[in-house]
Each structure stands twice: as structure tokens, then as C-alpha cells.
Amino acid sequence: MTSTPLSPTPRSTVRRNAVRARTDRADLHAVLDAGLIGHLGLAMPSGPVVLPTGYGRDGETLYLHGSSGAASLRAAGAGIPVCFTVTHVDGIVYSRSAFHHSMNHRSAVVQGTARLVTDPDERWHGLAVLTEHLAPGSWDHSRQPDRKELAATAVLALDLTEASVKVRTGPPGEDERDLADPQADWAGVLPLRTVWGEPEPCPLLPAGTPVPERVSSRG
């Protein structure tokens, strides 16, 4: 059970626990780019909060956004330390022992002090990056924000300087003694993946409106 993401330290096993800390920037970027939502943690006066948050990456900068009225965003934008974590679960690892059950996963943990973006050009750029991450092609195919919408939106920037990546892949790590245990009737990985469904057109669209390729090709 310590083979969970919280506890990547391998024990002496037949097949070592495959959790690895990655240091390559390409690994970090890949984990972030493959995600849609991250979890933003910050220490509020009332205690820590962890909020699901959309994001987008431009080079070594993550852009986050939310309502300019949200206390959490105001706090983060005021320059308090934050942690932003993106996790993908790739499979359940069934082991011959309860202890070595685990998850195959990829996770990125970014720590730093978020910066409230105030420069109008960078705000605009950040919003484009966020929209394009969520819905590639949408920025140029939707009405862009007006002044009122801009005022309602806080954009934060977070440097990727302090970031770590962990990846676990492969079959279970097992103790030698468990290999012939008759109680353990199976071991292996049950993979898990995320798939797109059929696009569901807005009911207010004229009938027969084609689904654009930027949406349908995502599937």
C-alpha cells in the first residue's frame, strides 16, 4: 500500500516499484500538456484549500484563471505561495500482496508564487493560451472577451522553475515470497484511459450545423 503516489520509495522486491522521478523538462511539459484540469493548493487563513483549476502552458509559464471575485484567486494573485498539481491515472496495479497494490500514474507538482497578470497584452495572451489549451482552435472561433468580461477574470502566471514529475509504469513490484501464494490468484495491470465521446451540439444551434474539425478530430 505504500506503493501509492504518496510514497514512491521502492522496497526490496522481485520487480522494483517503477515510480521514477523525472527531471527532463520534456516529461514535465508532456504531463502538463496532456491534462485538462489541475489542483491549485493555497494556504488560506481558514486552512488549506485545493481547487480544481483550468490552465494552459506557454513555455515555462503556466497560466491559471478564475473569477476576479474569488477570494482564493485574490489571495494567490497577491503573491502567496501556491502548489499546482496535475495527475493522470493510467491503470490499477493488482499485486499478490495488498501492500504492493498501486496505481500507474503520471503527476506534475509545481510550487511557486503565483503572479497576478496585470499587463493588458499578457492578460490577453494568457487568456488565449488558456482557451486554446481547453479547446484548441476556439480562440479564433468565438467572440473574444469584452471589457466587462476581462474585468471579471483574474489571470495568474506561475513559473515552472520549481516543478517535479513522477511516473509509475509497468507491472506490480512483488516480494519473492508472494509469487507462489495460492490466495493471490492474479496480478497485473488494469489500464485506464480517457476517451472523447460524440460531440453534443448546443440545442440553440441551427439544425444540421456541421461539427468543425477542431472538435471532431479531437476524438
Rule CB under 8 A: which of 148-167 touch a copy of itself? 149, 152-153
Q: Does 16 bind a copy of itself (CB under 8 A)?
A: no
Q: From CA 4, how far away is CA 13, in angstroms rounded?
A: 15
The residue range among 20-28, 34-42, 114-122 that interacts with a copy of itself, by the rule CB under 8 A, is: 34-42
Q: How far is the CB of 159 from a copy of itself (least distance, A)?
A: 14
By CB under 8 A, name the one of 24, 190, 207, 208 that touches a copy of itself. Answer: 190
Q: From CA 219, how far away is CA 217, in angstroms rounded?
A: 5
Question: Of 32, 149, 168, 37, nearest to 101 (Cα)?
Answer: 168
The residue range among 16-24, 25-33, 114-122, 206-214 that interacts with a copy of itself, by the rule CB under 8 A, is: 206-214
By CB under 8 A, name the one of 13, 53, 157, 163 that touches a copy of itself. Answer: 53
Q: How far is the CB of 63 from a copy of itself (least distance, A)?
A: 11
β-strand 102-113 against 162-168: which pairing, if any? antiparallel
Per-residue contact track with a copy of itself, 99 to 118, x per CB under 8 A? x-x-x-x-x-x-x-------
Rule CB under 8 A: which of 169-188 touch a copy of itself? 171-172, 174, 178-179, 181, 183-188
* Per rule CB under 8 A, count of chain residues that contact a copy of itself: 106
**DSSP state at residue 212:** P
Instruction: Give the side-chain half-sphere CA count within 13 A for 131.
Output: 16
Q: Does 79 bind a copy of itself (CB under 8 A)?
A: no
Q: From CA 113, how far away is CA 96, in angstroms rounded?
A: 43
Grid cell at residue 33: 500538456
Q: 59 or 80, CB closer to a copy of itself? A: 80
Q: Does 217 bind a copy of itself (CB under 8 A)?
A: no
Question: Of 141, 176, 137, 169, nearest to 27 (Cα)?
Answer: 169
Q: Does 127 bind a copy of itself (CB under 8 A)?
A: yes
**Bridge partners, 109 (sequence order):** 85, 164
End-to-end CA distance of the chain: 35
